[in-house]
Amino acid sequence: MGFSHAETLRYIVLPQAFRRVLPPLVSEAMTLLKNTSLLSAISLVELTRAGQMVASRTYKPFEMYLAISVIYLIMTLTLSLLARQLEKKWGSAEGRGGHD
């Protein structure tokens, strides 16, 4: 077709590879986000650990863990919406005649 190596990668190979990799990549990112609470087990300060410290000082664990849950929910939903937009963008290329 007359494409150089770089053009072949950019216009043919990478778009197909990205479409295939996007769903598992997003799934892995969401799993990583959900598992960040495991970091407190190795004593790194993060959201859950900070919530535990505040709850122990204020004696309001319900409110603190509710706030942490809402923050995790917002982060996860934001990532899901971003993934949906990316999948829609890259998935629409198939509708323009792209074949796998």
Quick one: tokens of 53?
Answer: 């410290």
Picking from 34, 16, 10, 30, the residue whose alpha carbon sits closest to that of residue 84 is: 30
Q: Using CB atoms within 10 A of its CB, is residue 40 exposed (0-12), middle (13-18) or buried (19+)?
A: middle
| Residue 95 reports pLDDT greater than 50 | no
Q: Minimal CA–CA distance to 70: which of 81, 62, 58, 60?
A: 62
Q: What is the pLDDT of residues 13-55, one digit of tens each?
A: 988 888 888 888 888 877 777 776 655 444 345 777 788 888 9
Three state DSSP letters for 50-90: HHHHHHHHHCCHHHHHHHHHHHHHHHHHHHHHHHHHHHHHH
| Rounded percentage of the chain residues whose pLDDT exceeds 90 | 13
Question: Can you give the pTM of this predicted structure?
Answer: 0.53
